[in-house]
A and B are shown apart, each in its own frame.
Chain A
Amino acid sequence: MLIFTLRRLNLFIFTMLALTLLSFSLSFLFPGDSIINISGAINATPSQLIEIQKAYQTDDNIFWQYIAYLKHIIQGELGISMASQSEISTEILNLLPATIELSLVALFIAMFFGIPLGFIAAIKHNKPADNIILSVSMVGYSIPVFWLGLLAILIFSINLGWLPSAGQISLLFEIKLITGIQFIDILLSDSPYKWQAFSDATLHIILPACVIAVAPATIFIRLARTSMIEVLGTNYIRAASAKGLTFQQIIFRHAIRNSLIKIIRHVGLQFANLVTIAMVTEVIFSWPGIGRWLIESIYQRDYTAIQSGLLVLSCFIFIVHILTDFIYAALNPLARGSKYGS
């Protein structure tokens, strides 16, 4: 396990280096002065600019400039936003939790519905139920998320009026920002309307989370189906059934556990996909997360924000990836021996 951990850490460090190198080179590739792109100080006075240049060591060669950039990042200094002139690190810290919250809920929904459906399809392999589940998942996978989001708003918010269409919580509730994750903040707050706020926030998250969950859920269906079919074909299942276990016993005691392990490996990969979908969905549902912020920064040509936003977001996805790898390794002793990080 130690070697496994070291390998993952190694992989993490090198990937992070590559990512910072990319975001560092972006400041040269974007139009305009690279020092302003990297610091975001568009309104700096000449004396301030000299100070910034010193901090980023622009007089030295490119290698030392990169080292200076890395130092800034390690200290959490991501520059200031060109559009709002506020610290990017604080903006990200305020927004990223909202995205994490939304993505986690969506992931949970996707797994909650996708995996059991996949298992059912596998158990009813080549029967009508299998075909129906597969075709539905195909349709779900093919629907573009921006269209699905608008359709969901039209049906559930406007026509039926069941669920709200925008934001994290009704603006009537005054919840102090503590962790940034709305549900935790509500529970920590001392508002007399705490529980209404909680249910209001729940209503707000249902629609965007479900929209995000559709595509990953269909992938979980296929993954669960394939892995279940594979497990059901193995010798130990055949042995179990030869021992006289009922079908239910076989499925619940042996098949599900073993096929789940294979699915968990893919959760990390799916999470990256899910965050991409979440970014688009955040725009549609006015969710105050990092995806919407990043897309707005692109519109406003806020290069500093784009650069740092990409770095933080990819770093976050990578951490999730590694975490799922750890969970996988903890659940499956066989994986710990594998030599290469994947």
Chain B
Amino acid sequence: MNNIRLVFIFFLSLISLLGCNDESIVSLSEHSVIYCAEGSPETFNPQLITSGTTIDATSNQLYDRLITYQGKENTLTPAIAKSWHITHDGKNITFYLRKDVPFHHTDYFTPSRFLNADDVIFSFNRILNIEHPFHLVSGGSYPFFQNINLGELVEKIEKINNYTIRFHLSHADSSFLANLATDFSVILSAEYADQLTKKNSKANIDTHPIGTGPFKLKEYRVGSFIRFYRHEQYWREPAKIEQLVFDITPSNTGRLTKLLAKECDVTAYPIAHRKIEQHNSLTLEAVTALNVGYLGFNVKKPPFDNKLVRQAISYAINKKVLLEMVYQGKAELANSILPNTSWAFDDSIPEQEYNPILAKNLLEVAGLSQGFTMDLWAMPVQRPYNPNAITMAKLIQADLNAIGIEVNIVSYEWSTFLNRLKLGEHQSFLLGWSADNPDPDNFFSPMLSCSATHTGSNTTFWCNQAYDDIIQQALQTTNTSLRKKYYAQAMNILAQELPLIPIAHSKRYQARDNRVVGNILAAFGGISFYHVTKSTSLKKNIKTKTDNSGNSTNIGNN
């Protein structure tokens, strides 16, 4: 009997323990944010990868860049470099570094000095110089920098003094600064690298990261969680939360459950949007990503060598239905190849109206009033810019049938599909483009320039000298308002010529508890928890209906 009594006493004391601690739990969770991430990072060095999951976990949390983007327009602003200067020929760029940037102080490294020119030179030489002692650590592959051909562009990096460095370029390139501001171009610690070389454990530089960012790595358990602590000596104001935990939950339903059960404060790529919207204490956010899904024409093949036919088709397609059916409303209607989150976006471009009658008239003018048969190539895989190309092709088939055009849907295995597109075997095709950096040139040159018809990234085979001249001029100047004008002209040409019909810019979603305040999502690149705060009291969320479809989404980037 005594035993049973003891057990009861134990239980009672346990229950009372649970009851009385609520207040202090609040104090810990008030300073901490748990983020349910969709996967584990491959490494802690963003120079080495292009995967979004890794960028999310590392770039903006652990590191800083020389310069960064700011605001809705994504203008370049100083970061570690307090200012920079470009010579008239655009070939020499000098950066003046801040003198008060401390590195992380962690269990495995204690910095003895502030960031200086050596760190910046180390970070870039690791990528550029094949003989650099750290180049081959972690495989020697720097995919982002190899894609933009940084090795050819940068001739050398010169140390002027301890806090001044100069990049010598082989030719002027106005997207160079944009590339330096991407999530990939982070600054590592040269002092830490030296220390690792002495200890003969160079690989640690990418697994036990040291950066200057607002958070430092405390603990990482593969496949389970990443724990960050605030970097107290951060050169800007320290982050408002003390602890940031990435709870790695690959299962979609798992993340939803944790969000609903309040085990996560913020969750990546949520499912069941309606369910989240119905919840009073949760907010669903979306940001339009820098990508575009489009319907392209092979302008070398009839009947699409005729501009009128292309225009007719653009009038005949009901994009709103495509958005609803293919993207389930998780995308924004595209009027041009640039999404509205790009600084070069031009509001003046009119929305393409859906008008089958006008389309029929145009076909008549083109001499095709009795209709024709065409092939439409639909990509076989799911991509952010087009989650289901086959369904989209079927909807387009129905739309075009209404104006007397018969559509055959063609699909191949993905690599065959791309290879045959490059050979120009197609008449029309559904494809898309995701940008690597917010520089608008990333959309204009690789997708539609004449030179891109040779490299195979412009599969419309549309080559327009006026367009090419404009985008070249835009690259040679660094004046943003001038560039914006050039790109507006280029977009006008595209709207007239229609080598392709932009359909949608897909969105990236995120759900959060209303107690978490501050921007996390960005239009491109990784998330950032630097500006996040947590309020103690739960404020009731007043929702605003944004459109008639009933989607109430707060765009994160306002």
Q: Does B260 contact A (CB under 8 A)?
A: yes
Known: A165-B261, A172-B245, A198-B17. A286 touches B254 (CB 8 A): yes
The CA-CA distance from A200 to B29 in the complex, in Å, is: 12
Size of chain A's interface in residues, with CB distance under 8 A?
26
A250 to chain B, nearest CB (A): 15
Q: Does A153 contact B (CB under 8 A)?
A: yes
Q: Does A166 contact B (CB under 8 A)?
A: yes
Known: A171-B225, A198-B17, A199-B21. A193 touches B28 (CB 8 A): yes
Q: Are B18 and A202 in contact (CB under 8 A)?
A: yes
Q: Are B21 and A174 in contact (CB under 8 A)?
A: no
Q: Does B416 contact A (CB under 8 A)?
A: no
22 intermolecular pairs with C-beta atoms under 8 Å apart: A84-B222, A153-B257, A157-B257, A161-B261, A165-B263, A166-B258, A166-B263, A170-B34, A170-B263, A171-B247, A173-B28, A174-B227, A193-B24, A193-B25, A193-B28, A196-B21, A196-B24, A199-B18, A202-B14, A202-B18, A286-B249, A288-B224
Q: Does B243 contact A (CB under 8 A)?
A: yes
Q: Are B18 and A203 in contact (CB under 8 A)?
A: yes
- Among A196, A198, A252, A286, the residue within 8 A (CB) of B1 is A252
The CA-CA distance from A157 to B17 in the complex, in Å, is: 20
CB contacts (< 8 Å) of A84 on chain B: these are 222
Q: Does A13 contact B (CB under 8 A)?
A: no
Q: Are A167 and B263 in contact (CB under 8 A)?
A: yes
Please give me the residue from chain A that is nearest to B275 by CB atom: A158
Q: Are B17 and A195 in contact (CB under 8 A)?
A: yes
Give the most central of B222, B243, B260: most A CB within 10 Å: B260
Q: Does A216 contact B (CB under 8 A)?
A: no
- Using A165-B263, A195-B21 as known contacts, list a sample of 16 further A-B pairs with CB atoms less than 8 Å apart, ordered by residue number in A: A84-B222, A112-B7, A157-B257, A164-B263, A167-B263, A171-B227, A172-B32, A174-B219, A174-B227, A193-B24, A195-B17, A196-B24, A199-B17, A252-B1, A286-B249, A288-B224
Q: Does B454 contact A (CB under 8 A)?
A: no
Give the most central of A173, A198, A199, A203: most B CB within 10 Å: A199
- Among B17, B21, B28, B261, the residue within 8 A (CB) of A164 is B261
Give the contacts of A200-217 with B (CB-CB under 8 A): 200, 202-203
Please give me the residue from chain A that is nearest to B29 by CB atom: A172
Q: Are B24 and A165 in contact (CB under 8 A)?
A: no
Q: At the interface, is chain B mostly helix, strand, loop or mixed? A: mixed
Known: A153-B257, A252-B1. A200 touches B25 (CB 8 A): yes
Q: Does B274 contact A (CB under 8 A)?
A: no
Give the contacts of B287-313 with A (CB-CB under 8 A): none
Chain A residues within 8 Å of B, Cβ to Cβ: 84, 112, 153, 157-158, 161, 164-167, 170-174, 193, 195-196, 198-200, 202-203, 252, 286, 288
Q: Are B25 and A196 in contact (CB under 8 A)?
A: yes
The 5 closest A-B pairs by CB, nearest first: A157-B261, A171-B245, A165-B261, A199-B18, A158-B260
Give the contacts of B187-231 with A (CB-CB under 8 A): 218-219, 222, 224-225, 227
CB contacts (< 8 Å) of B260 on chain A: these are 157-158
Q: Are A165 and B257 in contact (CB under 8 A)?
A: yes
Q: Does B262 contact A (CB under 8 A)?
A: yes
The CA-CA distance from A8 to B236 in the complex, in Å, is: 68
Chain B residues within 8 Å of A, Cβ to Cβ: 1, 7, 14, 17-18, 21, 24-25, 28-29, 32, 34, 218-219, 222, 224-225, 227, 243, 245, 247, 249, 254, 257-258, 260-263
Give the most central of A196, A252, A288: most B CB within 10 Å: A196
CB contacts (< 8 Å) of B227 on chain A: these are 171, 174
The CA-CA distance from A145 to B181 in the complex, in Å, is: 52
CB contacts (< 8 Å) of B258 on chain A: these are 165-166
A283 to chain B, nearest CB (A): 10
A66 to chain B, nearest CB (A): 33
The CA-CA distance from A161 to B257 in the complex, in Å, is: 11
The CA-CA distance from A286 to B221 in the complex, in Å, is: 15
CB contacts (< 8 Å) of B262 on chain A: these are 161
CB contacts (< 8 Å) of A170 on chain B: these are 29, 34, 263
CB contacts (< 8 Å) of A172 on chain B: these are 28-29, 32, 34, 243, 245
CB contacts (< 8 Å) of A171 on chain B: these are 34, 225, 227, 245, 247
The CA-CA distance from A170 to B225 in the complex, in Å, is: 11
A220 to chain B, nearest CB (A): 16
Q: Are A158 and B225 in contact (CB under 8 A)?
A: no
Please give me the residue from chain A that is nearest to B35 by CB atom: A171
CB contacts (< 8 Å) of B261 on chain A: these are 153, 157-158, 161, 164-166
B268 to chain A, nearest CB (A): 15
Please give me the residue from chain B that is nearest to A116 by CB atom: B4
The CA-CA distance from A166 to B257 in the complex, in Å, is: 9
CB contacts (< 8 Å) of B21 on chain A: these are 195-196, 199
The CA-CA distance from A158 to B255 in the complex, in Å, is: 12
CB contacts (< 8 Å) of B17 on chain A: these are 195, 198-199, 202
The CA-CA distance from A157 to B29 in the complex, in Å, is: 18
CB contacts (< 8 Å) of B18 on chain A: these are 199, 202-203
Q: Are A166 and B254 in contact (CB under 8 A)?
A: yes
B251 to chain A, nearest CB (A): 9
The CA-CA distance from A164 to B262 in the complex, in Å, is: 8
A174 to chain B, nearest CB (A): 7
Please give me the residue from chain B that is nearest to A163 by CB atom: B261
